[in-house]
Amino acid sequence: MKKKLMFMAIAAAFLGMAAVVPAQQAKLSGGVVKIGILTDLSGLYSDLSGQGSLVAARMAIDDFLKQEKNPFKIELVSADHQNKGDVASNKAREWFERDGVDMIGDLVTSSTALAVMPVAKEMNRVTIVNGAASTNITGKACTDLNVHYAYDTFALAIGTGRAVVKQGGDSWFFLTADYAFGHSLEKDTSDVVTAMGGKVLGAVRHPFPGTDFSSFLLKAQASGAKVIGLANAGTDTTNSIKQAAEFGITPKQSLAGLLMFITDVHSLSLKTAGGMYLTEGFYWDFSDATRAWSKRFFDQHKRMPTMVQAGIYSSTMHYLKAVKDAGTDEAKAVVRKMKDTPVNDFFAQNGRIREDGRLLHDFYLLQVKTPAESKGPWDYYHVRQVIPAADAAIPAAKSECPLLKK
């Protein structure tokens, strides 16, 4: 199945290349716009990005060529960065220096994004981060040639924290993965919980990666907090949720996932995850526009899109339009154009790319449906609240990015 998809993607790539159209007035390096999708094709994050990201990028390129009547030639290349920073930076260098790639997209996991961004800056090329979550990408490490499109930990933590307190979950206990990422999730969320008048009763740090969370869950249970915030990710999160159900902690206390994707819910099943709160930047079943696009995506990929994959489509489209409007693929001009043009599509309404590169767009507070409420596969969420764009990003005044200080 996967093999077949990959084959189709490759075949599609060749077809795309075959559609040779002479470059018009646009000044393009190498006479072509070359997009590289650097992603996780085999590891932990391949479900939420991976092949699906390639499908989304391909769709964006095909749609753009159709809509704009083939204004210039576009090529798509892809590689697996295996979630390793050094592999990613090596590949990026090679693509920029040797293959003339103009833009690198996806970059799932922060280590790869943070490794590629300085290389792109050095070579004057564009990076569009969709997969990675760290706020450093538009903070300390920000560059003027990078766009952070789909989401970051701040948006997810803040969104969930604020909204859950509003729903009455005013006492919290954190189950935190004991490394920088977990700590920052915990800190961002507890700040907002206390600011909203809630109480943080405590936190416990668990080793990463962990398998058995029962001792930590017992502590959370003993704290008597109404909400247990899961400041971890991936299998750590799914294991915590599963074991919380096993120990009878849920549904007496409720869980809040601070970094979860629809693919995690898919793997957990609604029976275990039902009732949880989480935040995402995109849900396929939100509006007619999201449903229409997601259906097309589903037809090709046989899975509903994650926010990362939807972000890839939207950002690639936005980038290509900016290249066309700017009349060049030179990085500075293109990013300027991207920042000056609002994003309006199924993914974002009136989205705006801030100077630090962060796309400001709405997020959604979601509650996972119980098996009885779900009408079928992928019908997973109640949209409980729309979190306005302005609330979902670190305020410019608090940002560590020098680009916002001007």
Partner 1 sequence: MFELLGISPQALYGQLLIGLINGSFYAVLSLGLAIIFGLLNIINFSHGAQYMMGAFVAWIGLTQLPQWLGNPDFVINYWAALVLVPLIVGAFGVFIERTMLRRLYKLDHLYGLLLTFGIALIIEGLFRDWYGVSGQQYEIPEVFQGTINLGFMFLPKYRAWVVVAALTVCFLSWYVIERTKLGSYLRAGTENPRLTQAFGVNVPLMITLTYGYGVALAAFAGVLAAPIFTVSPKMGADLIIVVFAVVVIGGMGSIFGAIVTGIGLGLIEGLTRVFYPEASAVVIFVIMAIVLLVRPAGLFGRER
Partner 2 sequence: MNTGHMRWGFIVLIGFGLLAPVAGIYPTFLMKCWCFALFACAFNLLLGYTGLLSFGHAAFLSVAAYVTGHAIRSWGFGPEWGILAGTLSAGALGYVFGSLAIRRAGIYFAMITLALAQMLYFVWLQMKFTGGEDGLQGVPRGALFGVIDLSNNTNLYYLVFVIFLAGFSLIHRVIHSPFGQVLQAIRENEPRAISLGYDVDRYKLVVFVLSAALSGLAGATKTLVFQLASLTDAHWHMSGEVVLMTLLGGLGTVFGPVVGAFVIIGLQNQLADKVGSWVQVIMGLIFVICVLIFRRGIVGELGRLLKRPL
Which residues does residue 176 pair with via DSSP β-bridges, in sequence order? 205, 231
Query: Which of positions 126-165 make contact with partner 2 (CB under 8 A)?
Result: 134, 136, 141
Smallest distance, partner 1 to C-beta of residue 211, A: 5
Task: Tell which one of 219, 296, 382, 384 touches partner 1 (CB under 8 A).
Answer: 219
Q: If binding is defined by CB under 8 A, does position 292 make contact with partner 1?
A: no
- Give the DSSP per-residue string, 119-137: HHHHHT-EEEE-S---GGG
Q: Tell me the closest approach of the beta carbon of residue 204 to partner 1, in angstroms.
A: 6
Question: Using CB distances below 5 to 8 A depending on partner kind, what does residue 118 bind out of partner 2, partner 1, none?
Answer: partner 2
**35-74 binders of partner 1 (CB under 8 A):** 42-44, 46-47
- Among positions 163-222, residues that touch partner 2 (CB under 8 A) are 178-181, 207-208
How far apart are the C-alpha atoms of 135 and 46, rounded to whole Å?
21
Cα–Cα distance list, 87 to 16, 92, 94, 192, 236 (Å): 27, 9, 11, 37, 25
> Binding segment for partner 2 among 77-85, 159-167, 220-228, 355-363 (CB under 8 A)?
77-85
Compute φ and ψ for 110, nearest 5 degrees. -65, -35
Which of the 8 DSSP states describes residue 369? Answer: P
Q: Tell me which of 41, 185, 192, 249 binds partner 2, using CB under 8 A.
A: 41
Helix (H) or strand (E) holding 7: helix 2-18
Q: Give the DSSP per-residue string, 140-188.
A: TT--TTEEE-S--HHHHHHHHHHHHHHTT--EEEEEEESSHHHHHHHHH
DSSP symbol at 343: B
The residues near 284 (Cβ < 8 Å, ≥ 6 apart) are: 262, 290, 291, 294, 304, 305, 310, 378
Write each residue from 227 to 256 as x if it is in contact with partner 1 (CB under 8 A), else as -, in one continuous string: -------xx--xx--xx--xxx--------
User: Contact between 269 and partner 2 (CB under 8 A)?
Assistant: no
Among 79, 227, 228, 249, binds partner 2 (CB under 8 A): 79
Residues binding partner 2: what is the number (CB under 8 A)?
Answer: 32
Residues within the interface to partner 1 (CB under 8 A): 42-44, 46-47, 178, 204-212, 214-216, 218-219, 222, 234-235, 238-239, 242-243, 246-248, 263-264, 267-269, 272
